[in-house]
Amino acid sequence: MGNFSGKAPDNLWAMRSQAVPAAISGAQSATGIFDRLELDWRRSLRSPALHDEARTWAAAEPALCGAAGAGDIVARVTWEGYRPSVDGALILSALLRQARSPLAARALLQALLPRIRVERVQTATYGHGVGESWPRPADTVADLVGECFVAITRHAGEDRDDVALVIVSQAARRLRTARQAQHRYQSRTVALLTGHGVLATGDISCARSAAEWLASALVDAVRADQLTADQARLLYAARVKGMPASDVGRAHGLPPKAVYHALARAERALLASLAWPDRPPTMSAA
C-alpha cells in the first residue's frame, strides 16, 4: 500500500515523500500519473487491513452500508462533470469523517480522482507558458494530487457536505498561489531559454524589474538590427507580458507549432545581441 503515517505533511513538497507521490514519481504524463495511482489502489485492495477497515467504516456510516469492500465504496461515487452524484456526495462525506485513518484518506483520494482529472491545469494560472518552470502538465497534476491528499488529512474527521469543493478546489487554489509566488520570484531574474535549457541568466534584482530590463533589451536589439520588430513583439508578449504561447500564437496569427519555433528563433537572436562586448555585466553563462 505505502507508508501512510496518518500525519499531514506541511505542504505538497513534503507530501512527495509519502505514499501517493511514490505512486506517481515515475510517471511521464498526466495519464500515466492516474494509471499508476489506479494500479496502486488495485494492489491496496488485496490488503486484509483495508478490508477490515472498510467493514469498520460501513458499521459507522449509513451511507456505506452494504458495500462489499473499499473498492465497492469508491466505485459507488459517480460524477456529473465537476459534481458528484447525490449518493456519491454522501459517500465522500462519510469517507472524510473516517479520514483520520490513513486507509480511509487514501480511499477518499481515489474516489476524488475523476474530479482531479478534469481540473484544467495546463493554463497560465498554474504557471504553464513559455519560459516557466513547469513545462509538463504531469508535474502540475502530481503536485495537485499531493495537495489534495494534504487537504484530506487537514480536514479529516470533519462533517462536510461539499467534500469535492473543499478538497479539490482548496488544493487547486493553494497550488496556484504557490506557482504565482514562484513566478513573482522568477520575475526578479531573466532566464533566456532554448530547446537545450537555460543559456544565460540576468540578475537584475538590484536594478530594474525583469520586465523593464527585458523590454529595454528588446528595443536595443531591434535598433541594432539584431532582432526584427515581429520577433520583438513575440518576445514582448511571451516574456514580458507573460502570455501563454497559445495566446501569443493567436494574437500573431501563428499555429501552435509555429509559435514555439518562432519564439525559439527570436530568443536565439536576442541571446546573440546580448553576447556583444557591451552586454550587461550581470549576464553570465549558466
Within a domain: residue 38?
yes
Based on the fold, state whether residues 100 and 229 are members of the same structural domain: no
CATH number, residue 202: 1.10.10
Based on the fold, state whether residues 106 and 132 are members of the same structural domain: yes
Q: What integer is the mean pLDDT of 208-227? A: 78
Q: What integer is the mean pLDDT of 187-211? A: 44
Q: What integer is the mean pLDDT of 113-137? A: 68
Task: Decide which of 138 and 100 is more confident.
Answer: 100
Based on the fold, state whether residues 114 and 150 are members of the same structural domain: yes
Based on the fold, state whether residues 150 and 40 are members of the same structural domain: yes
Within a domain: residue 255?
yes
pTM: 0.58
Within a domain: residue 197?
yes
Based on the fold, state whether residues 117 and 224 are members of the same structural domain: no
What's the domain range around 16?
12-185
User: Lowest mean pLDDT: which of 28-37, 41-50, 134-143?
Assistant: 134-143
* Domain endpoint, select from 169, 185, 201: 185
User: At residue 161, does pLDDT exceed 50?
Assistant: yes
Whole-number pLDDT of residue 195: 39
User: At residue 268, does pLDDT exceed 90?
Assistant: no
Per the structure, how many domains does the chain have?
Answer: 2
Based on the fold, state whether residues 110 and 218 are members of the same structural domain: no
pLDDT class of 32 with cuts at 50, 70, 90: confident
Give the phi and the psi of residue 189 in degrees, each rounded to 5.
Answer: -135, 165
User: At residue 207, does pLDDT exceed 50?
Assistant: no
* Domain endpoint, select from 164, 185, 206: 185
Whole-number pLDDT of residue 168: 94
User: At residue 16, does pLDDT exceed 60?
Assistant: no
Task: Decide which of 224 and 121 is more confident.
Answer: 224
Based on the fold, state whether residues 209 and 68 are members of the same structural domain: no
pLDDT class of 216 with cuts at 50, 70, 90: confident
Q: What is the 3-state secondary structure (H, E, C) of the chain?
A: CCCCCCCCCCCHHHHCCCHHHHHHCCCCCHHHHHHHHHHHHHHHCCCHHHHHHHHHHHHHCHHHCCCCCHHHHHHCCCEECCEECHHHHHHHHHHHHCCCCHHHHHHHHHHHHHHHHCCCCCCHHHCCCCCCCCCCHHHHHHHHHHHHHHHHHHHCCCCCCCHHHHHHHHHHHHHHHHHHHHHHHHCCEEEEEECCEEEEEEECCCCCCHHHHHHHHHHHHHHCCCCCHHHHHHHHHHHHCCCCHHHHHHHCCCCHHHHHHHHHHHHHHHHHHHCCCCCCCCEEEC
Based on the fold, state whether residues 180 and 197 are members of the same structural domain: no
* Domain endpoint, select from 185, 207, 224: 185
Task: Decide which of 257 and 10 is more confident.
Answer: 257
- In the chain, the percentage of residues whose pLDDT exceeds 90 is 34
User: Lowest mean pLDDT: which of 58-67, 89-98, 106-115, 251-260?
Assistant: 251-260
Whole-number pLDDT of residue 63: 96
Sign of CA dihedral 25, 26, 29, 34: negative
pLDDT class of 46 with cuts at 50, 70, 90: very high
pLDDT class of 8 with cuts at 50, 70, 90: very low
Based on the fold, state whether residues 172 and 212 are members of the same structural domain: no
**Cα distance between residue 85 and residue 69, in whole Å:** 20
Based on the fold, state whether residues 93 and 199 are members of the same structural domain: no
Based on the fold, state whether residues 165 and 198 are members of the same structural domain: no
User: At residue 61, does pLDDT exceed 90?
Assistant: yes
pLDDT class of 253 with cuts at 50, 70, 90: confident
Based on the fold, state whether residues 67 and 136 are members of the same structural domain: yes
